[in-house]
Chains A and B, each alone.
Chain A
Amino acid sequence: MVSDAPHEEDSTPQNSAVRELARLWVQSQSVISAYITANILDVQHAEDLVQEVAQVVAEKFDSFDRTRSFISWALGIARNRVLKYYRARARDRLVLSENALAKLEEALEHVGQEAEERRAALKVCLERIQGRRREVLEMRYSQNAKVADIAQRFGMSSDGVFVMLHRIRKVLYGCIHRQLAQEGTG
């Protein structure tokens, strides 16, 4: 048998389940990633947790009740991983309670339907951030720099960087809103 020969479309139940899992994960991944990134400060650890959740979802997919929402189920797994992460290491920040996390999951599940549109709008909006504000944003998000390091780099106070980041986000948030509204009326 030639192992690398092209495979015909396989319609076995196992492959069917893999395709279903792929479809559901693609639809949910941005929300799950957003949930984890919001609650885990360290970017690399957040990435690891996303991987872990993907792993557990793949492992337990056989037991997933198809009458339930996949996002809700996967977010539940993500919450357990986040809580386990909190327990397993010293917390480097204050974090939401379990009840608040559950509430956030519900809301994210609802908002998740907008994720792709919001991402496309954000892409346009990001182009409008220029100059020092863009450099700060890039340093924060592209290089995962700490606020203190950004402050030192630009000769600002840490509070100043916090405020600047907040204002940029606020601008982007408003811009996305307007973009989506225009598309809706267009």
Chain B
Amino acid sequence: MSDESELDLLLSRYLDGSVNADELAQLESRLISDEQFAQHFSRWCLLHRQISELFTESVLHEIMNQFIQGSPALPKKALSQLTAANKQTAGPMKLAFSDERRSRANSPLLFWRRWSVLGVAAAVLLAVSLWIFQQRSNSWLSEVPTARDVDVNNVVATLTQAVDAVWDPRGPAFHPGQLFCKGSHVALKSGMVKLTFECGAEVVLQGPCDFVAESQMMGVLKSGKITAHVPHRAFSFAIRSPGVDFVDLGTAFGVSVGSNGRTELHVFEGEVLCSQEKKEATDHTDVIHVTADKAVEFQSPGGESSDIAFDKEQFARLIAVRRTAEAPPKSLVPSKLALWLAADADVQTDANHRVVTWPDILYGDNRSAEDATQIDESARPTFVPNALNGHPAVRFDGKSNYIVTTPLETTDDQTVFCVCQFSPNAYDKNRRWGGQILNYDGPPSREANGFLSNTLHPGVLQIGEPLLAEEFKPTLLTGQVFAGFVGSAIVESGRVDTRQVGAELPVVVSYLYDYTHGRAVLSINGRDSGEARAFAPQAITSRKIIGRHAWKELFFQGDLAELLIYNKALSPSELADTTAYLADKYSIPLDSNVAAK
């Protein structure tokens, strides 16, 4: 056999994925050193691709013809082929957008997509690519049935809670998890709903209420009653009413606008600046400062203001929508608490016991509620009353379940606690990739949207099983901050692998990431399982994903009873106290060495 023929055979073997190391080295050597051979190689690549395109072209022509003609019956062979192909993509490495793909598995859009991919009409590919680009940018939105088109850049708020909500039949009905874009109109007939703005401001509406989510920093109350709780990071958040603008100066307040235009403001905390519209161009704008425990009313748009009796009680029901820890345990550290989810605290479910909203409990420094929601019914985890040593937990099926918080500000130093247990299915023989319990790269994922090049700054905190097949062991717990790539190496800061904790064995997991002092520690039931160097910063305001990876379909398979996030590295005593509290609450034995201390 001639040298050329032998190399051609190697080319074929490369294309079929069967080349061995020596053969590959031979190919590479020739490819790099011989320009003519490089072009020969590239022609083989073209041939390989074009055979595939031409074979598929005829089938797709048939499909497209029938689709365009509106035929109800697609060719069986073609459909089964596409279905089979679709099954191949159902692996865990599918991009997160495969949720969208799965939901459209039998839709015309899929046909359009495949049509384009196979290169029959390159121009169509561009159009579809742009469509895909839109879909990917909005992938986490695409699962949301919106009343209007939602542009990822225009999201201003999330509907995080609904209590007996009845929507005005003249407007759209919404569900928790709904994302609102600029100018979205919310017409509530009765009941209450909470909107969490992207800036962190929480606005609770009581029906009947006519409200517009105007921007990330502004809502317009046309009529009805609301309360607003505004965290420091949302300073200057504003509520506009027909005659008065209320600008937050670090506050909590209530506003009611009557049908006759009479407007009341009651300030619960801090200070609100009221700015009245001018009646005439020559008038000066009236600005009034209203401080805590004070109230004012405006009789009509542009009319005079007058002090009235402060009445917080009339807003009591709205204030109660935000879940505040009633009797927090003394051993739970209040300082720098950022998120507290407990399955025994008002988890809101649908008729099938699937979790719609998991409310963030307000306690200590956790003064803004970043509730976790899931609008997609098929992705909702299940609430199980007696899941974990007799305590309720949220059960993730390992296939499609996850929930997402509203944007939560987290810092370089972090301490995370989880009380969880893996399900027996975690040991399914077909599992080859790890699932994640917590991931900070919430939608829109920076990595999935192509913002990741080499190093990812800031990094992404992740807790769960090791993702990659070669590292995966069921129920083995890992904590790390993913910080991108250097060459072909994955940069993992503070990565600590513990042991396989087993199935149906509740554990208290703590992951301390002390960027300030350069160390990370992962502990199970109070025992340190390892320590690693924490060298990557990770401070970010992002949605936190609970139950899956940000863009890979790698899901947690088990129960989560409690999750706490602290914006600091807890001291050893704080760590021990919190661990002991959780272990005691859930009757989980601490490691004997720890308990002895």
Contact surface of A with B, Cβ cutoff 8 Å: 21-22, 25-26, 29-31, 33-35, 37-38, 41-45, 47-48, 50-52, 54-60, 80, 83-84, 86-90, 92-97, 99-100, 103-104, 106-108, 110-111, 114-115, 118-119, 122-123, 126, 137-138, 141-144, 147, 162, 165-166, 169-170, 172-173, 176
Given contacts A22-B126, A119-B54, contact A107 B12 (CB under 8 A): no
Within 484-517 of B, Cβ neighbours of A (below 8 Å) are at 485, 488, 490
B18 proximity list for chain A (CB < 8 A) = 93, 147, 162
Interface size band for B: 35 or more
- The residue of chain A having its C-beta at the shortest distance from the C-beta of B90 within the complex is A44
Choose one: B19, B20, B44, B117; the contact of A50 (CB below 8 Å). Answer: B117
A54: B residues at CB distance < 8 A:
125-126, 129, 132-133
A107 CB contact (under 8 Å) in B17, B21, B41, B129:
B41
Q: In the bound complex, how far is the Cα of B50 from the Cα of A114, in angstroms?
A: 12
CA of A29 to CA of B128, assembled, Å: 13
Chain B positions 86-143 with a Cβ under 8 Å from a chain A Cβ: 88-89, 93-95, 113-114, 117-119, 122-123, 125-126, 129-130, 132-133, 136
Minimal beta-carbon separation of A108 from chain B (angstroms): 4
The reply on B390 being an interface residue by CB < 8 A is no
What are the 10 tightest A-B residue pairs by CB atom distance, in nearest-first order? Answer: A54-B129, A107-B38, A166-B12, A38-B45, A34-B49, A93-B17, A41-B17, A142-B55, A107-B42, A26-B122
- Pair B48/A37 contact, Cβ less than 8 Å: yes
The answer to whether B136 touches A55, judged by C-beta atoms less than 8 angstroms apart, is yes
Q: Which residues of B contact A106 (CB under 8 A)?
A: 38
Identify the B interface with A (CB < 8 A): 8-9, 12-21, 24, 27-28, 31-32, 35, 38-39, 41-56, 59, 81, 84-85, 88-89, 93-95, 113-114, 117-119, 122-123, 125-126, 129-130, 132-133, 136, 450, 453, 468-470, 485, 488, 490, 552
- Closest residue of chain B to A167 (Cβ to Cβ) is B12
Task: Contacts A44-B88, A94-B19, A94-B20 given; indicate if A31 touches B129 (C-beta within 8 A).
Answer: no
- In the bound complex, what is the Cα–Cα distance between A89 and B94 (angstroms)? 11
A143 touches B81 (CB 8 A): yes
B residues less than 8 Å from A107 (CB atoms): 35, 38-39, 41-42
> 4 additional contacts, CB 8 Å, given A47-B114, A58-B129?
A42-B88, A95-B24, A122-B47, A126-B54
**B51 contacts A141, CB within 8 Å?**
yes
- Give the chain B neighbours of A176 by CB distance below 8 A: 47
A25 CB contacts on chain B under 8 angstroms:
122, 125-126, 129
Docked-complex contact A165 and B12, CB < 8 angstroms = yes
Pair B49/A38 contact, Cβ less than 8 Å: yes
Nearest residue in A to B84 (C-beta to C-beta)? A143
B126 surroundings in chain A (CB, below 8 A): 21-22, 25-26, 54, 58
Least distance between B22 CB and chain A CB atoms (Å):
10
CB-defined contacts of A59 to chain B, threshold 8 Å: 133, 450
Assess whether B470 is in contact with A90, with CB atoms less than 8 Å apart: yes
Number of inter-chain CB pairs below 8 Å: 202
| Given A123-B54, A176-B47: A58 and B133 interface contact (C-beta under 8 Å) | yes
A55→B35 contact, CB < 8 A: no
B114: chain A residues at CB < 8 Å are 47
Query: Would you call B28 and A96 a contact (CB within 8 A)?
Result: yes
**B38 touching A104, Cβ below 8 Å:** yes
Q: Contact at A30–B38, with CB atoms within 8 Å? A: no
Q: Can you list 24 A-B contacts with CB-CB less than 8 angstroms, sorted by A residue number?
A: A30-B122, A31-B46, A34-B48, A38-B44, A43-B85, A50-B125, A54-B125, A54-B133, A55-B450, A56-B450, A87-B488, A89-B469, A92-B17, A93-B18, A96-B31, A100-B32, A107-B41, A107-B42, A108-B45, A119-B50, A119-B53, A142-B55, A143-B84, A169-B47
A176→B51 CA distance, assembly (Å)? 12
**Cα separation A68 to B35 with both chains bound (whole Å):** 21
A85 to chain B, nearest CB (A): 9
- Residue ID in chain B nearest A31 by CB atoms: B46
Cβ-closest chain A residue relative to B35: A107
> Which of these, B8, B122, B485, contacts A87 with CB under 8 Å?
B485
- Chain B residues lying within 8 Å of A86, measured Cβ to Cβ, are 488
B153 to A: closest C-beta gap in Å: 13
- Please name all residues of chain A whose beta carbon is closer than 8 Å to the beta carbon of B117 when the two chains form the complex: 47, 50-51
Write the nearest CB–CB distance from B200 to chain A, whole angstroms.
28
Contacting residue for B32 out of A55, A99, A173, CB 8 A: A99
Task: Flag if A94 contacts B24 (CB, 8 Å).
Answer: yes
Q: Kindly identify which residue among A30, A55, A56 contacts B46, using a CB–CB cutoff of 8 Å.
A: A30
Contact present for A104 and B51 (CB under 8 Å): no
Chain B: CB-nearest residue to A129: B51
Whether the pair A33, B49 counts as a contact (CB closer than 8 A) is yes
Residues in A with CB closer than 8 Å to B32 are 99-100, 103
Whether A55 contacts B132 by the Cβ 8 Å rule is yes
The answer to whether B28 and A38 touch across the interface, beta carbons within 8 angstroms, is no
Q: Give A152 Cβ to nearest chain B Cβ, in Å.
A: 16
Known contacts A86-B488, A143-B81; decide if A38 and B52 are in contact (CB<8 Å): no
A118 x B450 contact (CB < 8 A): no
Distance from A93 Cβ to chain B, minimum over Cβ atoms (Å): 4
